[in-house]
Amino acid sequence: MRMAQAVLGVTALSLLATLTAYAESMPDAQTVDRGRALYHGLTAWEGPVHVGDTRIPSSAGVCAHCHGARGQGGSETGIKVPEVSWHQLMQSNAHRPAYRSGQHILQTIGGTEGRDDKKLAPPMPTFALTESEGNALLAYLQVVGTEADQAQGIFPDHVTFGVVLPLQGAWRTHGERIHAGLRDRFAAINRAGGIYGRRLDLVVEDAGTRPHDVVQAVDRLVQQHRVFALVGSFLPELPAASLQTIKRYHTPLVATLGIPLRETNDRNLTYLLPSIERQVQQLVRELRGRCDVDNGLHVLHAPVPGLAEAIQVATVNAASRAEVTVQVVLNPADALDALRHTTSRTVIALAPKETVGVIRTQIQKKTSPTCLATLAMFSGLPPSALNDRSDTTVTTSEIVGLPMSSVAVPSELTIEGEGLWTFLADLSARTLAEALSRTGRLVDYEGFDRALNSLQKFEPVNGLPIEFTPQQRHGLAVAHMWKGVLHEQAH
């Protein structure tokens, strides 16, 4: 018995010593982060990069481009690219011996000798690494492809997300309601145990009142707070500088709120709502079945930068033979003046509620024009849609494009007025949580992107499908058309 206890004691001490030595040899998190940035091209190499005798740009020497985001290897110009996980590098196989040490790996990267005593041939570049770069890269190679190699913002017990919202100025109320919707849904998910035991944390940045404020807000979230993704941000249009930032860091923008002017196919950027371009196209198609579009279409719109161009692109294809007039209106008086001088029978109004109300009243007098189309995201639902949704015998000369059918909204909620933005924010948070759940415990950007694009007919609320694909970067249907008191989904 004493002999057995002594053996067990020695074994336990030996195991403890081994684990202690292993822990002491593990690189610190800061060094790993720098190695990750070098491997993925987020940080430029300090020295030159060559392929053979040719110097190439530093951006062309990104390890992940050939060896894969998880170090899994791949193929480049028809040549098989090996895995670069620490386990694979330190293991021999039938084709080549193992590397002797980390220093041996660095010598190979520097172009001196490989693990079979031969230099690596092109297209493998050679790098003039500094000592700190070499240490950082070796540190990262010890974790690449393992659970310790999580994407930015992913931690053992929580995930950090960011949101850019208007917290001052004319859109402040929208920002507050969106924040409330995200905060409440995150809290409900966390009370239920989070996603794979990870708490969802939200960092809020103010969109400010100047164009560059958004750029700075996105930079702070991605580079300072190091969030994994942005969710439900009120960003109708993303500044070019911010788009460069999210592409460089591979930061997903998930179910972004606000209506973009034009369609996008950028894989980093998804919107919850379809673009103005797509919604106007659908409005024109619906108008063709009910109104005299061929005798002229007059589009009155609010003074939003870029809106006129998006309308023109949309109507060129959808309006066909119709003569289209696109005119900005600053207030209800401008809209009345435009109606007095138009010869068109049909009007599309993309303007605030007060302006659309004046246009609606004028059309109800049976004067010219006689047909009106609007988008609820600009002007809200028409009064008759709110007062009586059960009378299907009512006819109207108005069509309203909705981001969703109001009959799909839970009875205890409302999508009228500011309540719409809280509801949309809740949908954004639910979409994010579903995609994160489908990604699995090991989170990287490629896996998350695949999970997001797998949301085919996902219904965060019963009867309200959300769908993303590599080609379709908006989640909700192009439009639901309110005609009289009917809600019909447009395809």
Per the omega criterion (within 30 degrees of 0), is the bond before 123 cis? yes
Could you write out the three-class secondary structure of 203-260? EEEECCCCHHHHHHHHHHHHHHCCCCEEECCECCCCCHHHHHHHHHHCCCEEEEECCC
| Beta strands across the sheet bearing 229-231 | 199-206, 158-165, 229-231, 253-256, 269-271
The strand pairing partners of 74, in sequence order, are 81
The Cα angle at residue 195 between residues 272 and 452, in degrees rounded to 5: 35
Q: Do domains 158-274+419-466 and 277-385+392-402 have the same CATH topology?
A: yes
Phi and psi at residue 325, in whole multiples of 5°? -115, 125
Q: C-alpha distances in angstroms, 145 versus 42, 64, 472?
A: 18, 12, 30
Token output for 13: 């001490």
* Residues 142 and 60: beta-carbon distance below 8 Å: no
158-274+419-466, what's its fold?
Rossmann fold (3.40.50)
Please, which residues have CB within 8 angstroms of residue 251's CB and are 6 or more apart in sequence?
152, 222, 227, 228, 229, 230, 245, 268
27-141, what's its fold?
Cytochrome Bc1 Complex; Chain D, domain 2 (1.10.760)
The closest alpha carbon to 343, from 384, 295, 304, 288, belongs to: 295
DSSP-assigned letters across all residues of 291-330? S-GGG-EEEEE---TTHHHHHHHHHHHHSTTS-EEEEE-S
Please, which residues have CB within 8 angstroms of residue 433's CB and are 6 or more apart in sequence?
185, 189, 195, 200
Phi-psi region of 325 (alpha: psi -120 to 50; beta: other; left: phi over 0): beta
Query: In the prediction, which pLDDT does 319 show?
Result: 65
Q: What are the residue ranges spanned by the domains of the chain?
A: 27-141, 158-274+419-466, 277-385+392-402
Query: In the prediction, which pLDDT does 4 show?
Result: 42
* Residue appearing with tokens 């057995």: 4
Beta strands in 336-467 (DSSP E): 346-350, 371-375, 398-402, 458-461, 464-466
CATH superfamily of 277-385+392-402: Response regulator (3.40.50.2300)
Q: How many C-beta atoms surround the C-beta of residue 60 within 10 A? A: 12
Phi and psi at residue 465, in whole multiples of 5°? -75, 145
DSSP-assigned letters across all residues of 27-73? PPHHHHHHHHHHHTTSS--SS-EEETTEEE-GGG--HHHHH-TTS--
* Residues 327 and 314: beta-carbon distance below 8 Å: no
Query: In the prediction, which pLDDT does 14 show?
Result: 42
For 202-239, b where at least 16 C-beta lie within 10 A, e where not — what string? bbbbbbbeeeebbbbbbebbbeeeebbbbbbbbbbbbe
Per the omega criterion (within 30 degrees of 0), is the bond before 369 cis? yes
Report how far residue 236's alpha carbon sits from residue 302's, in angstroms, rounded to the nearest whole number.
15
Report how far residue 401's alpha carbon sits from residue 356's, in angstroms, rounded to the nearest whole number.
14
What 3-state DSSP class applies to 339? helix
Query: In the prediction, which pLDDT does 406 show?
Result: 60
Question: How many residues does the structure list for the chain?
Answer: 491
Token output for 182: 């995200």
Instruction: Specify the pTM.
Output: 0.76
Please, which residues have CB within 8 angstroms of residue 416's CB and are 6 or more apart in sequence?
380, 381, 386
* Residues 484 and 394: beta-carbon distance below 8 Å: yes
* Residues 36 and 149: beta-carbon distance below 8 Å: yes
Report how far residue 38's alpha carbon sits from residue 138's, in angstroms, rounded to the nearest whole number.
11
Report how far residue 463's alpha carbon sits from residue 476's, in angstroms, rounded to the nearest whole number.
12
The closest alpha carbon to 230, from 242, 218, 212, 214, belongs to: 218
Phi and psi at residue 34, in whole multiples of 5°? -65, -40
* Residues 218 and 178: beta-carbon distance below 8 Å: no
Query: In the prediction, which pLDDT does 36 show?
Result: 86
Residues of the chain with pLDDT below 50 are: 1-24, 388-396, 485-491
Query: In the prediction, which pLDDT does 19 show?
Result: 35
The Cα angle at residue 392 between residues 389 and 395, in degrees rounded to 5: 100
Please, which residues have CB within 8 angstroms of residue 441's CB and are 6 or more apart in sequence?
147, 196
